[in-house]
Amino acid sequence: MEKKSLAFKLNISISILLLFILCSSIYTIIMIERSQKYADNTGSNWLPSLNSISAANIIFANLSRRELRALLEKDANEKVKYLKEIEEFREKIKDWIKNYQSLINDSTEKKEFQEVEKNLQEYLIINEKTVEFIKAGEEKKAFENLNIVGKPVVYSTEKALNKLSDYNYKGGINSTKQGNYLTTLTKTTMMIIIISGLLVAAAIFKLIINSTQSIANAVVNLKKQSIATSEIANNLKKGAGALNDSVGEQAASVHETTAAINEITSMVNRTAENAKESTSVAKTTSDKAEAGQKTMHRLVQAMETIQESNSQLQNIAVIINQINTKTAVINDIVTKTELLSLNASIESARAGEYGKGFAVVAEEVGNLAKISGKSAHEIQALISKSQEEVNKILEITKNRVNEGKTVSEEAQSSFQNIAEDINIMSGVIQQISDATHEQEIGVRQISTAMNQIDKATQNSQMAVNTTADSSKQLVEQSDKLDITAKDIEILIMGKTS
């Protein structure tokens, strides 16, 4: 029963109470009808019979007295009057006999009535003879007939009337007792039903009180939960706002980092182009150095070609200056690459969890930039050294043209050193080209990672917006829940001032 709903309990309790009321009403109606039957029986059968018997006793007594008065009366007129009254009472007795037959209830009463009727008929015959004696003036015979013959009949008639009266009296008493018994039984039953109804009503009242208390406790808990939900929703709303701002800042940082990566990509592309151009220049220089070495071989045989070699050396100097210029550009690119790598590392740190992969790539780019810078410095040192050597050779060539044969061997050695340095420079430039290519791959990876971070940031922005909308709806639902809890509280506990 504890698991049943309040409505079910109330419906069952009210149904039981209504069933009690219905049963008590039906029982009361039945008992009242039965009591009414006994009352009707007493009023319509026994009491009319008693009244009729009482009237018969009165008529019979008056008839007896009138006989005696008519017998003793000396005045003729009075005697005629009494005789006339005797005749009237005789007719009344006959009428009574005829009317009483409709009041007979059962065979016993009928038997008693037949005894009364027999005595009355016998007395009426005696009365007729007495009246005849009185009218004939034979008072003595009339008195003897009245006293000797009539008196026993009077006694037996009165006895039969009393017996009939007792029978009707007892029947009326018995009917009344049965009616009283039913009335008492009805009262007792009604008291039991009333007490049972009060107990059921008390049980319903207790059930309502307990249920109301349970509902009141539930309403209090509902209000507490509503307040807690409202606080959580507000906190969630504030957190969503803060997260939205943070995601916005992160998105801005990602855009800035993307722009920096694009700039790095552009610089790396320029570095790659310069590296290719340096490789081409180094190859050309190597070819020319080989040509110069062959010239130096021919210089032993023919000094007149020194002027041509001098011109070639001047071209080499120009080429070395060009290489020096390109190397300076490479150093500048390396410096900017290191700076952009540092900026990328800072931006990846600001990106947090999404920028870890980008930080690794930025670090690799920085390392490659350092290697490129170191190689560029080495190239520049070699170029400077080559330039110094060429200048020395030019100076010697200008100052000691006449000593060509003597210094040709030294020039040949110098050209050999230049060729070796150019080969070394070509290898370093090749390393720069390879490093630049690796930088290009790393930058592409960084760009791809930044695009993924940008997409993740956009997804985070969408999730934050969804969370903000949900928190707003949660706040609205919490307010509605609080209003509902207050309405239920007013419904159960009433409105408090």
Spell out the domains of the chain, with CATH numbers in brackets: 6-213 (1.20.120.30), 227-490 (1.10.287.950)
Hey, how many other C-beta atoms are within 10 angstroms of the C-beta on 136?
10
Helix and strand counts by DSSP (H, E) for the chain: 9, 0
- For residue 286, what pLDDT is reported? 67
**Overall average pLDDT of the 327-341 stretch:** 80
DSSP string of 17-54, one letter each residue:
HHHHHHHHHHHHHHHHHHHHHHHHHIIIIIHHHHHHHH
- For residue 110, what pLDDT is reported? 92
Q: Is the pLDDT of residue 253 over 90?
A: no
Confidence of residue 229 (pLDDT cuts 50, 70, 90): confident
Q: Which of 160, 115, 112, 131 is nearest to 64 (CA)?
A: 131
Q: Is the pLDDT of residue 114 over 80?
A: yes
Worst-scoring range by mean pLDDT, 150-164, 341-355, 479-493? 479-493
Confidence of residue 494 (pLDDT cuts 50, 70, 90): low
- For residue 4, what pLDDT is reported? 66
Worst-scoring range by mean pLDDT, 89-93, 151-155, 382-386? 382-386
HSE-CB for 422 with a 13 A CA cutoff? 28
Longest CA span, the chain: 230
CA distance 152 to 63: 15
Q: Is the pLDDT of residue 308 over 60?
A: yes
Q: What is the dihedral of CA 455, 459, 461, 467, to 10 degrees?
A: -170
**Overall average pLDDT of the 249-274 stretch:** 72
Q: What is the mean pLDDT of the chain?
A: 79
Tell which wins on pLDDT, 190 or 440: 190
- For residue 123, what pLDDT is reported? 92
467's CB contacts (< 8 A; 6+ apart) are 236, 240, 243
CA distance 140 to 237: 136
Taking each helix axis from N to C end, the angle separating 107-136 and 47-72, rounded to the nearest 10 degrees, works out to 10
Q: Is the pLDDT of residue 445 over 90?
A: no
Q: Give the highest mean pLDDT range of 92-96, 450-454, 472-476.
A: 92-96
Q: Is the pLDDT of residue 293 over 90?
A: no
CA distance 60 to 114: 16
Confidence of residue 410 (pLDDT cuts 50, 70, 90): confident
Q: Which of 450, 59, 30 is nearest to 253 (CA)?
A: 450
Confidence of residue 318 (pLDDT cuts 50, 70, 90): confident
Confidence of residue 129 (pLDDT cuts 50, 70, 90): very high
| CB-count exposure of residue 150 (10 Å: 0-12, 13-18, 19+) | buried
At 412, which amino acid appears?
Answer: Q
Worst-scoring range by mean pLDDT, 48-62, 167-181, 205-219? 205-219
CA distance 396 to 391: 8
Q: What percent of the chain has pLDDT over 90?
A: 12
**Overall average pLDDT of the 419-434 stretch:** 73
- For residue 488, what pLDDT is reported? 72
- For residue 150, what pLDDT is reported? 87
Q: What percent of the chain has pLDDT over 70?
A: 83
Tokens representing 5 are 């709903």
Tell which wins on pLDDT, 205 or 281: 205
Model-level pTM greater than 0.85?
no
Worst-scoring range by mean pLDDT, 137-146, 180-189, 238-247? 238-247
| CB-count exposure of residue 470 (10 Å: 0-12, 13-18, 19+) | middle
Tell which wins on pLDDT, 408 or 114: 114
